[in-house]
Chains A and B, each alone.
Chain A
Amino acid sequence: MAKKVALFAVVLMALLASCSNVGGPAVNLNINLGNEPPNLDQHTTTDTISIQLLSLVVEGLVRYDDKGGYMPGMAEKWEVSPDGTVYTFTLRKGAQWSNGEPVKAEDFVYGLRRALDPVTASEYAYILYPIKNAQAVNEGTLPVDQVGVAADGNKVIYTLERPTPYILSILNFPTAMPGNQAFIEAQGAEYASEADKHLYNGPYTIKEWLHSDKIVLAKNPKYWNAKNIALDTITGYMIADSNTSITMFFNKELDLVGVPGTRLQDFTDKGYATPTYSDGAVFYLEFNTLDPVLANAKIRKAISFAVDRAGFTRNVLMDQSQPAMSIVAPYISSGAGSIFRDVVPQYFNDHDVAAAKAMLAEGMEELGLTELPSFSMISDDGDRAKSMAAAIQDMVRTALGVEFTVDPMPFKARLQKMTDKDFQIVFAGWGPDYNDPMTFLDMWTTGNGNNHTSYASPAFDDLILKATNETDLAARLEILKAAEKMLMDDMPIAPVYFRMRNWAFQENISGVVRRNVGPDPDLYWTVKK
């Protein structure tokens, strides 16, 4: 709740301030992107840096507003058919690409077809699958012109496979954004590789792009809402070292900076506020249920109960991250007008050593073991990730006498091991794709590509299927609750914490919106005095 109030205050300040910057010197905001954006091609991109930048330079039909809803983008208005399967968007008049060509309904049709075309090989094409025939087109069984999108004058019409309540959030994703066919085809494989090999229709254009160094966005005068865009330029530096970026922030060379828990005190000492926001991510231990010992739910629970989550968040993360005794992140809507986590807070007690010992004894008896073999856990190789893994390792050893080895490895090596099911325990995390408990639950169904635990419960699969087809939102909530409970009873994953992040900004900055689904931070409303 505190977060919402803070957010609102920031926005209010922005609205008050947005009128003041007329005719003054050019205003430039300095931010740190942390790394080179790997791919600014809207139809194939997957990473958060590119998604954040794209939200400022390419605009879809709608965009996220500053209150968690949607506002018109390239579309002025939209209608939904009574059965919820046809969406008709009316485009805004006078919208232009940065080369002066109008943004047409055909650009949206081309964009969607390009994203789904097997030749494009877009990794996130699957999020468009709710659109009619999208999957068949992407798999190459239907020609691209069979996908359920059509242009009719200044109207774009989407036909869906079935009613999809979160379709606006999908159409807001870069993969669904428009593209200027002539321009993109002229650039070929190097489309979006340089500032002048890209076309813009958003609030900013890319003025300068020095790879791995900095990217400069300039306000787009042709943008429909240009009068409400306060910054003249945004300079995004690519500083990978967190200490360097913090020192630069203290030197006022950066206007915004992320603050790791271990550095919070420095910011407080220097008089900076360090607001907290949830990025929606949950971190957990995944157990490989194909492992002969970890196949036993009681052994898994014993390990889970032994973790001191409160101590972990307070003393290891040293920030406001919350202990997780459930899997759906806080702030995620229940889909029935409430916050899911408020309805069901938790399923077991944190750091319940007595219960953990009891579970271990029962589990070992079931397995006929007198001594537990040592486990191995894999984790990421960052400095913090290693500390986190060492903390969990020590907690389990202290509580249960169970030995862990921890193998830190690079991100992709860890993902490879998870995909190959070549692990016993892995410390991993998940961020939401859309604002619904389902984004945290349906991945644990049998055979799901994200279910590295090999957890296979027909009863759980059945609940997820029921929830997917249930149209009554209150009844659906009950099914989702049952599904989460079942997951925690079987515990193929042991939740550890819900991540909260801290950041700081210079005092003349306001109107930065942080969110857990969609581009973050969103600088659409940002003002610098």
Chain B
Amino acid sequence: MSLFSYIMRRVLISLLTVFVVVSITFFLMNLMPGDPFIGNKAVPKAIKDNLYAKYGLDKPLFERYLMYLGNLAKGDLGMSMTYKNQKVINVIKQAFPVSADLGIRSLIFGVIGGLLLGVIAALHHNGPWDTTATLLAIIGVSIPGFLIGTLVQYIFGFLFSNVIKDVFNTTYQLIPIARWEGFRYTLLPSFALGFSSLALTSRMMRTSMLDVLHQDYIKTAKSKGLTPLQVTWRHTIRNAILPVITVLGPMTAAIMTGTFVIEKIFAIPGLGKFFVQSVQMYDYTMILGLTLFFSTFLIFMNLVVDIAYGFIDPRIRLAKGKA
């Protein structure tokens, strides 16, 4: 099967999956006994009726479902019911790049750092480097995000920056407390967010490396007289990285589509808050739009990872060479 037909097949399956996901979410969500327009102050029935008519909520469920699918086919995700004059698609268009930016930064920090730590730990198995790396990794997966976020924000954004201000007698804020305006602003949230992926990646990489180091082909490579660097790079890492790559898809999708906690603590205008808020506010169109976006993105990332896997896995290349 050529790469092209493989991708086409995957895309078709993906479209079907997304369709089913949207349908499930649509009906599940409408089982919620909630009224998106409920407010602290009661509103006369006539006004409620006007609102329901405006958003098409007065129609039977199945008709609404068909209408939604019809609009979807035209690329229209509808208007948010919380942010009344915002199109759902615009909200995603504005918030996703911010979340993606933060996500990529923390992934770069987390994945590269994690791989490095994992390799170092495995090569110095049971040595002090291994202990240090493992400990760092385990601490990373052991502290909830809101604790790390709160802590680093106060220590670096406030205490440390104030020391800098005192020492250099300046008002320059070296590491900002919150918000998203430039490189300096990205440091703390990227660290806080990337810490857990760093931990996860380094743990996986270490285990995988140890696994590979016990394989016969490594012994073969060594006995062939390859230098330790060549063995590590061409044989160990190449093979050990494979299982790590498979988790990168879901991890990337999850991190790039926004994380509620870190975005809230650091006041970052990303997508994370909408996932929580839309459900709590019964914002039907927003819930559907986000689910659609998330599932499409996740499927896309998995596809990318699978293709990347093919390029990295030495066995797959071998098979191609034979054919």
Decide: A123 near B39, CB < 8 A? Known: A212-B269, A238-B267, A416-B33.
yes
Nearest Cβ distance between residue A383 and chain B, in whole angstroms? 12
CB-defined contacts of A119 to chain B, threshold 8 Å? 50, 54
Nearest Cβ distance between residue A230 and chain B, in whole angstroms? 23
Q: Is A420 touching B33 in the complex (CB atoms < 8 A)?
A: yes
Q: Mark the stretch among B84-92, B227-235, B237-245 that contacts chain A.
A: B84-92
Chain B residues 278 to 321 lying within 8 A of chain A, measured CB to CB, are 280-282
Q: Is A193 touching B90 in the complex (CB atoms < 8 A)?
A: yes
> Is B42 part of the binding interface, using a Cβ–Cβ cutoff of 8 Å?
yes
Q: Interface majority SS on A: helix, strand, loop or mixed?
A: loop
Nearest Cβ distance between residue B163 and chain A, in whole angstroms? 13
Q: Is B177 touching A248 in the complex (CB atoms < 8 A)?
A: yes
Q: List the A residue with the shortest CB-CB distance to B276.
A: A410
Nearest Cβ distance between residue B125 and chain A, in whole angstroms? 42
Q: Is B85 touching A211 in the complex (CB atoms < 8 A)?
A: no
Q: List the A residue with the shortest CB-CB distance to B42.
A: A449
> Is A29 part of the binding interface, using a Cβ–Cβ cutoff of 8 Å?
no
Mark B33-47 against chain A: 1 for CB-CB distance below 8 A, else 0. 111011111111011
Docked CA distance A392–B267 (Å): 33
> Is A369 part of the binding interface, using a Cβ–Cβ cutoff of 8 Å?
no
> Is B23 part of the binding interface, using a Cβ–Cβ cutoff of 8 Å?
no
> Is B138 part of the binding interface, using a Cβ–Cβ cutoff of 8 Å?
no
Q: Is B177 touching A125 in the complex (CB atoms < 8 A)?
A: no
CB-defined contacts of B177 to chain A, threshold 8 Å? 244, 247-248, 251, 253
> Is A126 part of the binding interface, using a Cβ–Cβ cutoff of 8 Å?
yes
CB-defined contacts of A457 to chain B, threshold 8 Å? none
Q: Mark the stretch among A37-45, A61-69, A92-100, A465-473 that contacts chain B.
A: A37-45
Decide: A241 near B53, CB < 8 A? Known: A126-B47, A450-B42.
no
Q: Is B269 touching A238 in the complex (CB atoms < 8 A)?
A: yes
Chain B residues 249 to 281 lying within 8 A of chain A, measured CB to CB, are 264-267, 269-270, 273, 280-281
Chain A residues 121 to 152 lying within 8 A of chain B, measured CB to CB, are 121-126, 138-140
> Is B71 part of the binding interface, using a Cβ–Cβ cutoff of 8 Å?
no
Which one, A211, A213, A416, A430, contacts B180 given CB within 8 A?
A213
> Is A412 part of the binding interface, using a Cβ–Cβ cutoff of 8 Å?
yes
Which one, B44, B90, B158, B281, contacts A250 given CB within 8 A?
B158
CB-defined contacts of B95 to chain A, threshold 8 Å? 211-212
Mark A329-365 against chain B: 1 for CB-CB distance below 8 A, else 0. 0000000000000000000000000000000000000
Q: Is B33 touching A191 in the complex (CB atoms < 8 A)?
A: no
Chain A residues 181 to 217 lying within 8 A of chain B, measured CB to CB, are 189-193, 210-214
Q: Is B85 touching A189 in the complex (CB atoms < 8 A)?
A: yes
Q: List the B residue with the shortest CB-CB distance to A212.
A: B269
Q: Is A237 touching B179 in the complex (CB atoms < 8 A)?
A: yes
Q: Is A121 touching B267 in the complex (CB atoms < 8 A)?
A: no
Q: Is B154 touching A415 in the complex (CB atoms < 8 A)?
A: no
Nearest Cβ distance between residue A525 and chain B, in whole angstroms? 28
Q: Is A193 touching B86 in the complex (CB atoms < 8 A)?
A: yes
| 13 pairs of residues in contact across A and B, judged by CB atoms under 8 Å | A38-B84, A39-B84, A44-B84, A121-B51, A123-B39, A237-B179, A241-B267, A247-B154, A247-B157, A412-B34, A413-B34, A413-B280, A450-B41
Q: 14 other contacts beyond A121-B50, A251-B162, with CB at 8 A cut-off? A: A118-B53, A122-B50, A193-B87, A213-B180, A239-B178, A239-B267, A240-B264, A244-B265, A244-B266, A411-B280, A412-B281, A412-B282, A416-B34, A450-B42
By a beta-carbon cutoff of 8 Å, the part of chain B in contact with chain A is 33-35, 37-44, 46-47, 50-51, 53-54, 79, 82-87, 90-91, 94-95, 150, 153-154, 157-158, 161-162, 173, 177-180, 264-267, 269-270, 273, 280-282
